[in-house]
Structure 1
């Protein structure tokens, strides 16, 4: 499938139509001034602002491969295959956080214990676990395990905070990922500065990642690479809001001996959703090899453009994505460092791949049921071409070996979902989310053909 001139024209007409109705979102310039207040001046004290709470998440997934695809597992020393895989885990986070001490320099500590209880322990069901259920070397589930998910000390001056230790961090390149029973976290030092009204700075140096379904810390590796590891990730960036309707961000990262990666993102809002509103999103990544080139030679430009129309309870989004490079658009494993519009169950990130998505969502609050939402989407990718990949450079001659077979590959993905968040009472903010996804790939497309049903219930709680 390729974007025809009719599709592009329809998208352009949608933009013009939204502009015709749009008047309420201010397009005024936002001057850069010092922040009006100092967060540290409002510190309540180390003990006085102490909190203890967390969340528990019931995470269930059932997958079925088709068109010849199978999962593998070991039994009595033999490798067996099966079309299905089921993972069911209860993940609980208990977080203790102090307040900042008073004074010019505030000090705070944060500790969080992560615990996983496996509810489906069948070796045949979990198929070795992967990043869903922790399993031992024989493929048996580790019935219950715990680890220190967060453990850090924070120093704050005015509106600038320095954090050292195991922590959460969020940017377009290094971002905590929380789509399993437990989230990932990172070990290192980071800074977050919000001294200006519309301009903030972030940066970090990390040497280890705490994976979603593992007890120990790991070195960083990539999502699609050959397993090569690095123990240094440097990242820094800015978030800037030049207009009341426009937010932008720029980040850069050096992943030692892997690559240098640069990101630019922008989101613009126009109109009033009670009548008609247009949200435009743009994301761009530039990735080039670095140092010892453990991932081989890389020169990759990838971008996505999305146009979202909203009218009261309804929203309709069109997204186009293009990978310009002879290797995958890759990112760090155990992170959510892929802010691309078509990153779904499949990332639609094959070499030279183009993709297009249509998504619809409805918020039932407009019909008297606050907290209830539904969504559906359809995405297609085409022109996947890895035949020009050489992989030269570094110790890993073919870091992405296998993509040379991808010549005109294509795939498609469909998904529907429903979510509900309880609005009041003792279970307020409890979220229940059900999704069904079906993905179908051509012979050498990397994701294969798979169906998945997922049911996730997240219950937050406060003790102190």
Structure 2
């Protein structure tokens, strides 16, 4: 019998679930849920250096769009092996743009350099569950050490492949995945994956590893991933939270990654270390972070994804060759002051010792501010308003000021 392709398997699982007797498929429907998210986003990036953006020469990139994101998740059929299916459908519309302000990564860009008026995405995921082990095939969205799907633009990034996750042992979660294609946030077309910063295209990206929580206060993890014929990477992380009192704690986290070449693409050498300590006192949190790159290359990761780095923030990742960076962060939850749903964050990261191709060294810094208010009740419940502001200054890259205004409203459909 011919093997099912990755693209066909989700449909086969859905068909199988629906053909089961009604008593077996009851949970498939009863445990299902669906939401529709309306996302309105205005993006403004002002290039401050003479001559504008180093890549395009633009003095500004500013666009406005409206996105609609439908998410549907079924339950599992009853029995030893439960079957289910998830779906995600998205469409984005351009509300404002121009030829000299395009390039915000909110929309696909045409051959003429203008942003397209609209684009859409559709993903189907078949899933199966046996005991505490789940397998998924089709469209996937990741948030783990090896692959993080960005969601900072109009529509989120997606991947296509297969993964398995198991929690059969208490406190231990293991994962394995093989990804064949990526669908960037600003695109409606699947594409092969390439290495960010280092280049190189791979036929697939695969990762596996596990996370163990010895207690509710501690976690450790070890993962391995590779972009086929481009690079391979080991990532280790550990964290511990010291609870000093009911409203006071100190959270510590450390991350280490070692990257090298895979195949004959080219030699790759990077070691990345990062650590963060955060003191939480009631509504206030104060954090200090440190990150250091070693080796002949910057930190490699899948292009259009987010890197798993302590000092990856709104714009920069501070992962250039030999770069050393420090972070200071402050968070405030104003629920403690009678305004539930209102949170504030500000942080500052400075990096230096960047080894430039000219032989000189470079430095950079970024300051971020993030204010979010989510309505807690009434007719506006599930509506959130968010302002994200960033300022970047660099001796070797773009100087820029950026603002993102985001209005999100999530409607439960089931």
Q: TM-score, normalised by structure 2?
A: 0.90
| Of 424, 430, 449, the match for 2:399 | 449
Q: Is the 8 A contact 1:299 1:325 kept in 2?
A: yes
Structure 2 CA distance for aligned equivalents of residues 187 and 82 of structure 1: 34
> By how many angstroms is 1:429 displaced?
3.0
How do 1:37-436 and structure 2 match up within 5 A? Answer: 45-71=27-53, 81-126=57-102, 129=103, 131-148=105-122, 150-226=123-199, 228-272=200-244, 275-293=247-265, 296-386=266-356, 404-405=357-358, 407-436=360-389
Query: What is the number of residues matched between the two proteins?
Result: 391
After the TM superposition, which parts of structure 1 deviate over 3 Å for at least 4 consecutive aligned residues?
272-276, 341-344
Whether 1:461 and 2:411 are equivalent positions in the alignment is yes
Decide whether aligned partners of structure 1 residues 157 and 64 sit closer, same or farther in structure 2, where only a CA change above 3 A counts: same
Q: Is the 8 A contact 2:62 2:97 kept in 1?
A: no
Kindly state the Cα deviation for residue 348 of structure 1 after the two structures are TM-superposed.
Answer: 0.6
Higher mean C-alpha deviation, range 64-73 or range 408-417: 64-73
Q: Name 1:397's counterpart in structure 2.
A: none
Q: Could you tell me how far apart the structure 2 residues matched to 1:96 and 1:378 are?
A: 38
Q: Using the alignment, how far apart are the partners of 1:176 and 1:110 within structure 2?
A: 17
Residue 290 of structure 1, CA deviation: 0.9
Give distance in 2, aligned partners of 1:130 and 1:275: 41
Change in Cα spacing, 1:359 to 1:351, as seen in structure 2 (3 Å) is: same
Contact 2:63 2:104 in 1 (8 A): no
Paired residue secondary structure (1:47): helix
Distance in structure 2 (CA, Å) of the matches to 1:52 and 1:276: 37
d(CA) in 1 for partners of 2:64, 2:286: 33
* Distance in 1 of aligned mates of 2:209 and 2:232: 14
- SS of the residue corresponding to residue 305 of structure 1 reads strand
- CA deviations 1:417-451 (Å, max 9, x no partner) are 21111111233232221121111001xx2x42111
Residues 99, 350 of structure 1: alpha-carbon distance in 2 compared, 3 angstrom cutoff: same
- Pick the structure with more strand per residue: 2
DSSP-derived class of the 1:119 partner: strand
Check the 8 A contact 1:273/1:311 in 2, yes or no: no
- Structure 2: state its 5+ residue gaps: 1-23
Tell me the residue number matched to 1:390.
none
Deviation at 1:283, TM superposition (A): 1.1
CA contact (8 A) 1:320 1:342 kept: no
8 Å CA contact retained: 1:173, 1:336:
no
- Following the alignment from structure 1 to structure 2, what is the Cα–Cα distance between the partners of residues 85 and 210? 22
Contact 1:256 1:290 in 2 (8 A): yes
> Alignment RMSD, CA only?
1.9
- Local SS of the residue matching 1:347: coil
Closer, same or farther: CA 69–297 of 1 in aligned 2, 3 Å: farther
2:390 to 415, 419, 437: 437
Instruction: Give 1:69 shift.
Output: 4.5
Deviations 1:339-397 (A, max 9, x none): 323444211111001001111111101111111111211111011114xxxxxxxxxxx
Counterparts in 2 of 1:329 and 1:373: CA distance versus 1, 3 Å? same
SS of residue matched to 1:203: strand
Call closer, same or farther: CA 1:169–1:375 in 2, change over 3 Å.
closer
| Native 8 Å contact 2:390 2:403 kept in 1 | yes
Q: Indicate the structure whose relative CO is greater, using CA pairs within 8 Å and at least 6 residues apart.
A: 1
- C-alpha spacing 1:63/1:188, structure 2 compared with 1 (3 Å): same
Q: Secondary structure at the match of 1:405?
A: coil
Distance 2:309 2:351 in 1: 17
Cα 1:102–1:331 change in 2 (3 A) is same
